[in-house]
Amino acid sequence: MANRVAIVADSIACLTKEQVEQYGITIAPIPISFQGKIYRDWVDITPSEAYQLFLKDPGSFRTAGASPGIFLEAYREASKQAKNILCVTLSTKLSGAYDAAKQAIDEVKKELPQISVEVVDSKTVTASEGFVALAGARAAEAGKSLAEVVSAAEEMRDKVIFLALVDTIRHVYRTGRIPKIAAVAGSMLNIKPILAISPKTSGVVHFIGAVRSRERGIEKMLKIMRDRVGQSPAHVAVMHAYAPEDAEKLKERVAAEFNCVELWITEFSPVMGYATGTGTLGLAFYKED
């Protein structure tokens, strides 16, 4: 039976190729520019390839922002699957993607008046956003209506938590939240910030601490996760920015220490990575009710 609802998510959701194929999710790729050339995140270039470019010349690596055209193209593609579409975007506090996705609805209505599109602000980012999109996709696969699929995505948004250990503070000034001089000083002192987004933070990234070593940072993230989920069944994604071996080790620890009913590894979108740099490790997780 064909799904009644098709799912669109922006590329910041860090969904794996397998997940995208399994659920027929359409990805709206956010553009990256490097030395004047534009690449579509996860489409023209893999995160690993993008990080290789970034390491060559961080100064000329930029994100180009989401445009209505990106979402219009995704809606056209998704409309081949179903007349109803749920589009999940990263937090409005971090990007204009939600507004771009809403604007694209006006255009798609002119072309395809029979199509219905609902846009949900995931109020999070990376694989946490991925879990919001997957909740919608799983409801769609179960034959739910558009309203029920939207509701499933919104319920997930109220549960999922994102944590990231940034390996170097050097590039964080690009977000506009920290002066370059402070970022350089911080990197010289080898300070590694831990960032978080949870339902309580309403889509804003919070700085929740800093450590001097990667090992301490990993221990701190795992402790936060343990405090939140205990031994309840947990759904977990491990993320990395050009650090696959570290991510594999972290995944093994999570598998050994938690009651995981779902556990996957994904790369950290370079659209985020341009500010966090390579070596970033992250966790997205929620516990089952």
| Same-domain check for residues 224 and 265 | yes
Same domain membership, residue 146 and residue 257: no
Domain co-membership, 124 together with 145: yes
23 and 137 in a common domain: yes
Give Cα separations from 202 to 157, 264, 279 (angstroms). 10, 25, 26
Taking only the tens place, the pLDDT of each residue in 116-129 is: 999 999 999 999 99
- Give the pLDDT band of residue 58 (cuts 50, 70, 90): confident
Is the pLDDT confidence value at 201 over 90?
no
Q: Is the pLDDT of residue 84 over 60?
A: yes
Portion of the chain with pLDDT greater than 70, in percent: 93
> Of 78, 169, 160, which is closest to residue 115 (Cα–Cα)?
78
Q: Last residue of some domain: 124, 157, 190?
A: 157
Given this model, what pLDDT does residue 171 score? 64
Average pLDDT over residues 87-108: 96
User: What's the whole-number mean pLDDT along residues 190-206?
Assistant: 88
Q: Which two tokens stand for residue 70?
A: 């990106």
Domain co-membership, 216 together with 130? no
Given this model, what pLDDT does residue 9 score? 98
131 and 90 share one domain: yes
Cβ-in-10-Å burial (0-12, 13-18, 19+) of 170 comes to middle
Q: What is the pLDDT at residue 191?
A: 83
Dihedral sign, Cα of residue 157, residue 196, residue 170, residue 240: negative
pTM, 2 dp: 0.94
**Is 60 exceeded by the pLDDT of residue 185?**
no
Q: d(Cα 237, Cα 286) in Å, to the nearest integer?
A: 10
Q: Are residues 145 and 165 in the same domain?
A: no
Among 132, 116, 170, 131, CA closest to 278: 170
Distance CA 133, CA 26 (A): 11
C-alpha 121/C-alpha 98 separation (Å) is 6
Whole-number Cα distances in Å, 172 to 98, 127, 207: 23, 20, 12
Task: Kindly give, in sequence order, each residue whose CB lies less than 8 Å from that of residue 285, ignoring residues fewer than 6 positions away.
Answer: 160, 161, 225, 228, 229, 234, 235, 236, 237
CATH number at residue 72: 3.40.50.10440
CATH number at residue 232: 3.30.1180.10
Rounded-to-integer distance, Cα 241 and Cα 51, Å: 8
Whether residues 167 and 135 share a domain: the answer is: no
Q: Which of 189, 192, 197 is nearest to 172 (CA)?
A: 192
Looking at residue 25, the DSSP 8-state letter turns out to be: P
Q: Are residues 168 and 274 in the same domain?
A: yes
Domain boundary among 157, 182, 200: 157
Placement of tokens 């030395």 in the chain: 35
Q: Could you list the residue range(s) of the whole structural domain that residue 185 is in?
A: 161-287
Task: Let me know if residue 42 belongs to a domain.
Answer: no
Say how far apart CA 121 and CA 203 lie, in whole Å.
9
Q: How many domains does the chain have?
A: 2
Does some domain include residue 47? no
Identify whether 129 is part of a domain: yes
Give the length of the chain. Answer: 289
Answer whether residue 26 is part of any domain: yes
pLDDT at 162 > cutoff 70: yes
Mean pLDDT of the chain: 92
* Count of C-beta atoms within a 10 Å radius of residue 175: 14
Answer yes or no: is pLDDT of 182 > 60: no
Considering the domain boundaries, does residue 170 fall inside one? yes
Tens digit of pLDDT for each residue in 212-256? Answer: 999 999 999 999 999 999 999 999 999 999 999 999 999 999 999
Q: In what order do the strands lie in the sheet with 84-89?
A: 26-28, 5-10, 84-89, 116-121
